[in-house]
């Protein structure tokens, strides 16, 4: 028998940077406990924030990721699209590089992530509002 669940999750505003949101996602998806084999698809409904899976043990990783992406796409008024602030276009570049969705296997009623992996909201704006995620579970 095939199972499908879909929920929306509204995250509160976060400061610019990489923020672990694994607990928030698991907290609204008790249905994972019903899935022996399946997939969790996570989609962010924004173009200036993104999602990533990365190390969840050392907070220095999140800081170093933010520093690295800020070097790749620095703020400034040298972008053509700058009407929404100097941090807007770099946010779009960063979001394009990281992506707007993740797909994670579900195995034996839990996410099949590695020991040191966590799900990150990558907030690329200085003063962003909350962010919306669509969470879809497919499985048996």
Give pLDDT tens digits for 18-67. Answer: 999 999 999 999 999 999 999 999 999 999 999 999 999 999 999 999 99
3, 4, 22, 68, 119 from 38: Cα distances, Å: 9, 10, 18, 34, 18
Residue pair 102/51 in contact (Cβ under 8 Å)? The answer is: yes
End-to-end Cα separation, the chain, in angstroms: 6
Domain span holding position 76: 3-139
Q: Note the pTM of the prediction, 2 decimals.
A: 0.96
* CATH number (domain holding residue 105): 2.60.120.460
Residue pair 132/21 in contact (Cβ under 8 Å)? The answer is: no
**Number of domains the chain contains:** 1
Give pLDDT tens digits for 81-114. Answer: 988 999 999 999 999 999 999 999 999 999 999 9
């Amino acid at each position: 028998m095939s199972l499908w669940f879909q929920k929306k999750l509204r995250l509160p505003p976060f400061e610019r940077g990489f923020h672990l949101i694994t607990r928030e996602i698991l907290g609204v998806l008790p249905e994972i406990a019903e899935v022996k084999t399946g997939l969790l698809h996570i989609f962010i409904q924004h173009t200036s924030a993104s999602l990533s899976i990365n190390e969840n043990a050392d907070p220095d990783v999140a800081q170093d990721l933010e520093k690295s992406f800020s070097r790749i796409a620095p703020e400034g008024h040298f972008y053509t699209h700058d009407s929404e602030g100097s941090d807007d276009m770099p946010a779009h570049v960063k979001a394009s590089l990281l992506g707007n969705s993740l797909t994670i296997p579900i195995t034996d009623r839990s996410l099949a992530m590695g020991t040191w992996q966590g799900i990150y909201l990558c907030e690329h704006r200085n003063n962003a509002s909350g962010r919306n995620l669509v969470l879809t579970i497919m499985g048996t």
